[in-house]
Amino acid sequence: MTEQLGLFDGPDLQSPRSAEAALSVRESRRARRLTLRMVPPHTLEVVVPRGTRPAKVAAFVAANQPWIEHARHEIARRYRADSNRLPSRIELAALGRIWSVRYARALGPRARLRESPGVLELADGAPQYAGATALLRAWLLRQAKVWLTPLLLEEAAALGRGPTAVQIRLQRTRWGSCSSTGSISLNAALLFLEPPLVRYLLVHELCHLLLLNHSARFWKRVAALEPNYRALDRKLTDAWTLVPLWVHER
């Protein structure tokens, strides 16, 4: 439902090779207004309604330059040069749980992960534990499928309308989405967020089952279930820096 337009040719924007976070522009059929958001691990994105004039985008970027500089600072702080190292500790705030991560050399090339209460043990025979990231991502997906789907269905019961299907994936640009067929997709990285933010995202996507847009009627539906949605929506926009870099690696 969206089209990628690439890098915006405007004032004070950096190329992808720059040390600063690049700023890209994405045209969205569903967008009603211009918005800025972080896209991990090192990109900022302007989402614009279809047909928005470049001059309007340039003015929006100029007006929001303080936010852009703050976001770049946060990205540089969060994703510093050594942040791609494998984690020694994983905290899933949505669940209120923490795991320590231990690494060992395996005799063979195949990587393995074993979980015990509060501990993840990774054994890998490849150089620099090359298979560990894929195992951690697969583990995160399993956790998300166990926890997020029941939470979504619980909120759906309160709304009186449920999705036709639920998909859990790891995504770089969306916390969640709802299709025209009523299928809801959730980002497994939601588990790194605090419970109020997770609940807001679930409520937001469920309300799209009633209205597949961001009209005033849609936000009225959201407000009925979550009166604090404005503040939570702003926090969700900036929450990408809470997701560790290893989650985004392929």
pLDDT tens per residue across span 62-87: 999 998 888 888 777 766 554 557 88
Token pair 């923490």 in the structure block, residue: 98
For the chain, domains (ranges, CATH) are: 2-78 (no CATH), 132-247 (3.30.2010.10)
Q: pLDDT digit string (tens) for 215-226? A: 999 999 999 999
pLDDT the model gives residue 3: 31
Q: What is the pLDDT of residues 82-135, one digit of tens each?
A: 455 788 999 999 999 999 999 888 877 788 999 999 999 998 877 667 788 899
pLDDT band at 7 (very low <50, low <70, confident <90, very high): very low
Confidence of residue 153 (pLDDT cuts 50, 70, 90): very high
Question: What pLDDT does residue 114 have?
Answer: 93
